[in-house]
Amino acid sequence: MHSLTISQADPRPMYLQIVEQIRHRVAVGDWAAGQEIPSIRALAVATRVSIITVKRAYLELEREGVIVTRQGKGSFVSDSVDLGASLLQQQLTQHLSAAVDVGQQLGLTAGELASRLREIAGTKARASDE
């Protein structure tokens, strides 16, 4: 059945894990555009997490336009074509936006932030070469 995996060891909040897993399924096409997705309750039971966590995840996904809920009919993946690519773009925007927030808290300028980004990208590229 449609069940996701929640890790309590993951520092990210549970609802976010759900959001990302659903986004990923849509991005790779497992959950097709326009397809009906499990009700909040059904997914909660299948994944063995609280309903309120799934509810929050669905709210977030709706905000992002990944899913739509039709009153009395259930929840569906959005009808948008090419959702995959735009979702990844959205993901990138969110990650970068979060990085900017943290950078602000640390008191970094945009330039300092950019050079940190390049530094990390470089390290990762070297690591994958080895």
Partner 1 sequence: MNEYMVELAGVSKAYRFFSLQDIHLRLAPGQIMGFVGPNGAGKSTTLRILMAFVQQDRGDVRVLGYRMPQDQAEAKREIGYVSEDTRLYGGATLDWHMRFIASVYPSWDAKYAQTLLHRFNLEAQQTIKGLSHGERMKASLLLVLARRPRLLVLDEPTTGLDPVARHEILTEFIDVLSDERRAVIFSSQTTQDIELISDQITFIDRGRIIESRDKETFIDRWRRLQLDVPAGITLPTLAAVTDVVTSGRIATITTNDFSPQIPAAYTEAGAVVREVQRMTLEEIFVANVMRSRKETTA
The binding site for partner 1 (CB under 8 A) comprises 6, 8, 11, 13-15, 41-42, 44-45, 48-53, 56, 101-102, 105-107
- DSSP-assigned letters across all residues of 19-84: HHHHHHHHHHTSS-TT-EE--HHHHHHHHTS-HHHHHHHHHHHHHHTSEEEETTTEEEE---TTHH
Least distance (Å) from partner 1 to the CB of residue 7? 11
Least distance (Å) from partner 1 to the CB of residue 79? 28
Least distance (Å) from partner 1 to the CB of residue 61? 15
How many whole angstroms separate alpha carbon 93 and alpha carbon 67? 19
Is residue 16 classed as helix, strand or coil in its secondary structure?
A: helix
- Rank residues 44 and 67 by Cβ distance to partner 1 and give the closer one: 44
- Rank residues 48 and 124 by Cβ distance to partner 1 and give the closer one: 48
